Amino acid sequence: MHPELERSLRDLGSGVLTLTAHREAALGRIATWMKEQRAHLQPVHLVFICTHNSRRSQFAQAWAAAAAQHVGLTNVHTWSAGTEATAVAPPVISALEWSGFRLETEDDGNGKWVLTCADEAEPIVLYSKTISDPENPSDAFAAIMVCSDAEQNCPFVPGASARFSLPYADPKVSDGTPDEQRTYLERSEQIASEMLHVMQLANA
């Protein structure tokens, strides 16, 4: 794993994660589903969904992949999607780079970012897309709703074998303000900490 990213995850893991009972239960349900998949020797497919697939779901896709690798979980695959496609918000890219991910943009103008957790790891492609995008799994995946709007507007996710509610506050509220960088880093670290917790539970 890239040293800077390893350090970020190690620091997050050494901190105290304060969760409400409701939040702990929500994370536990995701971990239990993952353990059941692994017990049946099935791959773990996680699709993080928010309305525009531009901020929270992108953070979750990246951090879930990194956290799984950090704790030694194999055959865990992450994606993200939205109820509509827009673009990955630039402050998301900045926050991920700051935390130690390495990203490169593709040259064909399609808004895709290629992210790596380690030199030898399979890259993750971040871009805004809908749930029906052919790059996303079509069945046997867990749909994790990371915003309340998507949960309300997308009551049924075709092909999902499990569905979980895990909403986060939208960092978009700080766009264009002096608080933008701080807000995005805080949301990134919150999602990272919770994804790390899920992976640790699933690996227990």
CA 169 to chain centre: 14
Question: What residue type is assigned to position 47 of the chain?
Answer: V
Which positions ≥6 away from 68 have C-beta within 8 Å? 74, 76, 78, 199
Among residues of the chain, what percentage have pLDDT more than 70?
95
Integer Cα distance of 113 and 13 in angstroms: 27
Q: Which of 195, 199, 203, 162 is nearest to 59 (CA)?
A: 195
The answer to whether the beta carbons of residues 44 and 103 sit under 8 Å apart is no
pLDDT number for residue 61: 98
Integer Cα distance of 58 and 38 in angstroms: 24
For residue 150, is pLDDT > 70?
A: no
pTM exceeding 0.85 = yes
For residue 4, is pLDDT > 70?
A: yes
Lowest mean pLDDT among 23-32, 107-116, 193-202: 107-116
Q: Which of 13, 43, 7 is nearest to 195 (CA)?
A: 13
For residue 8, is pLDDT > 90?
A: yes
The answer to whether the beta carbons of residues 174 and 180 sit under 8 Å apart is yes
pLDDT number for residue 9: 96
H or E segment at 202?
Answer: helix 180-202
Higher pLDDT among residues 15 and 55, named by residue:
55
pLDDT number for residue 25: 97
pLDDT number for residue 111: 84
Residue 64: pLDDT band (50, 70, 90) is very high
Residue 155: pLDDT band (50, 70, 90) is low
Average pLDDT, the chain: 93
Residue 160: pLDDT band (50, 70, 90) is very high
**Domains of the chain, CATH where assigned:** 3-10+22-202 (3.40.50.2300)
Lowest mean pLDDT among 102-111, 126-135, 152-161: 102-111
CA 103 to chain centre: 15
Residue 105: pLDDT band (50, 70, 90) is confident
Give me 8's structure tokens: 């970020």
The answer to whether the beta carbons of residues 29 and 157 sit under 8 Å apart is no
